[in-house]
Amino acid sequence: METHDRAAAVHAEGIVKRYGPTVALDGARLTVRPGEAHALVGRNGAGKSTLVSVLTGMARPDAGRVTFGGAPAPGWGDTAAWQRKVACVHQKSMTVPELTVAENLYLGRYQGTRTIRWRALHTRARELLAEYGVEVDTAARIRDLGVEQRQFVEIARALSGGARLIILDEPTARLDAAGIDRLFAKLRGLRAQGVALLFISHHLQEVHELCDTVTVFRDARQVLTAPVPGLAKEALVAAMTGEETAAVRKPRTGARPTGEPVLRTEALAVDGHFAPLDLTVRAGEVVGLAGATAGGGTAIGETLVGLRTPDAGRIAVRGRPVRTGSVPHALDAGIGYVPEDRHREGLIPGRSVAENATLTVTGRLGPMGTVLPSRTRAFARRMIAALDIRTTGPGQPVSGLSGGNQQKVVIARALAREPAVLVAIRPTNGVDVKSKDALLGVVREVADGGSGAVIVSDELDDLRVCDRVLAVFHGRVTAEFPAGWRDHELVAAMEGVAAGGPGPGDPPGAGGGRDAPTGPPHTEGTEGTAP
């Protein structure tokens, strides 16, 4: 029915894909043109990743047609042919971590019995990377590279294989602001050469920055394709949710909670990661640690939950010392943990939503250490409703859930123990805009119920639920912002530009308009860092 699909880098129509009773795609369609940066957005479970699997030959659709440049897609199973058409940069890397950059670049291209000439291989790899402006040591193992470099290697590998369409599935999820800028600069350059991009993201801001066209999927179907310029965020969210008005979470502005301290650190430090930190989180309080992943906030969060052993300092929960460097002790002491990376630390794929949500509470749900399935399921049902988890029910294996919905199960699990303090590292990573709101609302409720919470993130939306935000830069708390901060002030502090936020006595937004405040760092009481 498309008259101009010959011009399309990729065209898909009538795509149907079922997983058992779940209809992941139901007559889906999409067209991406050469040189276009096309965003694909939608709520968790809308079918985005499934479409990516179909467009890359990883999943066989039950019905529908895919063409590249007007020609039918390669046959099912002809992996090499698919790779010449399309490449995908996944959130989870497709490169082999144990192999070097050069080996990964030519992976799969040396078949048969030909011997490999290593010196030539490295020379070719270096030339290839240089062609795409990627500065990476070809002898380095992939596992030793950062996310950003790994993605660039993947992109270079794809393009060198002849692909003219690159699919980026949440590529920015693990990059910091500077890394995102560099990735986008590279992608703009590729577009200018006529490469087509399909960009999947839950960050509508990024869609506006990078893309000229956006397609919205809802409930397994395409519901809107429109030019990005001039498209209001509200209209986009309305298309994603199918609701006219999207409720927007109001930033905190109220007085700072004054409950008993639930978490206290004294001179807590990890050499090379963060300087001695005195932190107090009170009952009813949500404290944000804002900054780039490498800035120290993540390391602080990981130390609080026992993943890292501090070189100095103490942690106490409700006045009782916690043995540091031990996850089980942290859990037992009442520190709940929402990890950043659900793939590595989160879930047991074959187990059900209910089992995963209650993995750490097996002693609590029934008498004598038994787990009563009825209670497990009741808790899971509550969480499915509260966090808006899209699933066929508590008994569904988590492997059948979309990425964002899996992340919600990770959060449910942390809440199952009713922690005294919840430590969440980038908790809304991969979660759609509406679910983000529900999820942060739950964190808020946990605090309002008398617990405390620490959110480590560089996402402003995550930090808006906080009663106060500490900017962490190069391992130090450089500024403290009470609720009511302005975006640009916090962003500047996270990037190490600003030295201080508005003091607690200042009206919200005080200091707004200053590009780089030069006042001394504001730290309160014992809070902050020692050298």
Nearer to ligand ATP, 149 or 391 (CB): 391
Nearer to ligand ATP, 128 or 383 (CB): 383
Q: Which stretch binds ligand ATP (CB under 6 A): 18-26, 249-257, 337-345, 443-451?
A: 18-26
Is residue 201 near ligand ATP by the rule CB under 6 A?
Answer: no
Closest CB to ligand ATP among 8 and 41?
Answer: 41
Cβ atoms of 348 and 359 within 8 Å: the answer is yes
Shortest Cβ distance from residue 393 to ligand ATP (Å)? Answer: 12
Least Cβ distance, residue 430 to ligand ATP (angstroms): 6
What's the closest the beta carbon of residue 81 comes to ligand ATP, in angstroms?
24
> Distance between CA atoms of 514 and 510, rounded to whole angstroms?
9
Render 118-149 in DSSP notation, one character per residue: HHHHHHHHHHHHHHTT----TTSBGGGS-HHH
Extract the runs of DSSP E, i.e. beta strands, from 259-344.
Answer: 261-270, 274-282, 286-290, 312-317, 320-321, 335-338
What gap in Å lies between CA 199 and CA 151, rounded to an integer?
14
219 interacts with ligand ATP by CB under 6 A: no
50 binds ligand ATP (CB under 6 A): yes
> Would you count residue 44 as binding ligand ATP (CB under 6 A)?
yes
If binding is defined by CB under 6 A, does position 22 make contact with ligand ATP? yes
Of 49, 429, 451, 457, which one interacts with ligand ATP (CB under 6 A)?
A: 49
DSSP conformation class of 397: B
- From the list 189, 194, 159, 187, the residue with the least C-alpha distance to 172 is 187
Interface residue with ligand ATP, options 402, 428, 451, 529 (CB under 6 A) = 402
Is there binding between residue 46 and ligand ATP (CB under 6 A)?
A: yes
Contacting ligand ATP (CB under 6 A), which of 10, 24, 165, 465?
24
Closer Cβ to ligand ATP, 53 or 478, answer by number: 53
Q: Which of the ranges 39-47, 80-88, 188-196, 242-250 carries the binding residues for ligand ATP, by CB under 6 A?
A: 39-47
Beta strand 452-457 pairing with 335-338: unpaired
Stretch that binds ligand ATP, among 44-52, 133-141, 149-157, 465-473 (CB under 6 A): 44-52
Q: Which of 258, 293, 252, 256 is nearest to 273 (CA)?
A: 293
Which helix (DSSP H) or strand (DSSP E) does residue 396 occupy? none
Smallest gap from residue 40 Cβ to ligand ATP (A):
9
Q: Which stretch binds ligand ATP (CB under 6 A): 105-113, 354-362, 403-411, 472-480?
A: 403-411
CA 275 – CA 300 distance, rounded (Å) = 10
CA distance 197 to 35: 7
> Applying CB under 6 A, which of residues 61, 306, 310, 403 lies at the interface with ligand ATP?
403
Residue among 47, 288, 334, 528 that touches ligand ATP (CB under 6 A) = 47
Nearer to ligand ATP, 83 or 406 (CB): 406
CB of 341 to ligand ATP, least distance (A): 15
In Å, what is the CA distance from 518 to each residue of 464, 474, 527?
Answer: 24, 18, 20
Nearest-Å Rg of the Cα atoms of the chain is 24
Answer yes or no whether residue 19 interacts with ligand ATP by CB under 6 A. Answer: yes
Q: Binding residue for ligand ATP (CB under 6 A) from 29, 122, 186, 390?
A: 390
Q: Are 422 and 469 in contact (CB under 8 A)?
A: no
Q: In terms of CB distance, is 60 or 314 closer to ligand ATP?
A: 60
Q: Is 42 in the site for ligand ATP (CB under 6 A)?
A: yes
Instruction: Based on the shown chain and the rule CB under 6 A, indicate whether residue 384 belongs to the binding site for ligand ATP.
Output: no
**Shortest distance, CB of residue 20 to ligand ATP, whole angstroms?**
6
Residue 405, interface with ligand ATP (CB under 6 A)? yes
Q: Does residue 388 sit in helix, strand or coil?
A: coil
Q: Which backbone phi and psi does 50 adopt, to 5 degrees?
A: -65, -40
Neighbours of 35 (CB within 10 A): 16
Verify binding: residue 222, ligand ATP, rule CB under 6 A: no
How many residues of this chain interact with ligand ATP, rule: CB under 6 A?
19
The answer to whether residue 48 forms part of the interface with ligand ATP (CB under 6 A) is yes
356 binds ligand ATP (CB under 6 A): no
Residue 88 within binding range of ligand ATP, rule CB under 6 A: no
| Interacting residues with ligand ATP between 417 and 446 (CB under 6 A) | 432
Q: For 228-266, b where at least 16 C-beta lie within 10 A, e where not — what string?
A: beebeeeebbbbbbeeeebeeeeebeeeebeeebbbbbb
d(CA 153, CA 135): 9
- Tokens 């990743």 belong to 49
List the one residue out of 220, 246, 243, 219 whose CA is nearest residue 233. 246
Q: Measured from the CB atom, is 48 or 122 closer to ligand ATP?
A: 48
- Asked if 394 is part of the footprint of ligand ATP (rule: CB under 6 A), the reply reads no
How far apart are alpha carbons 503 and 512 in whole angstroms? 12
> Minimum distance between the CB of residue 391 and ligand ATP, rounded to whole angstroms?
7
Q: In what order do the strands lie in the sheet with 452-457?
A: 335-338, 421-425, 452-457, 286-290, 468-473, 476-482
Contact call for residue 150 and ligand ATP (CB under 6 A): no
Q: Which of 57, 295, 339, 404 binds ligand ATP (CB under 6 A)?
A: 404
- Counting contacts by CB under 6 A, is residue 45 touching ligand ATP? yes
Binding site for ligand ATP (CB under 6 A): 19, 22, 24, 42, 44-50, 390, 400-405, 432
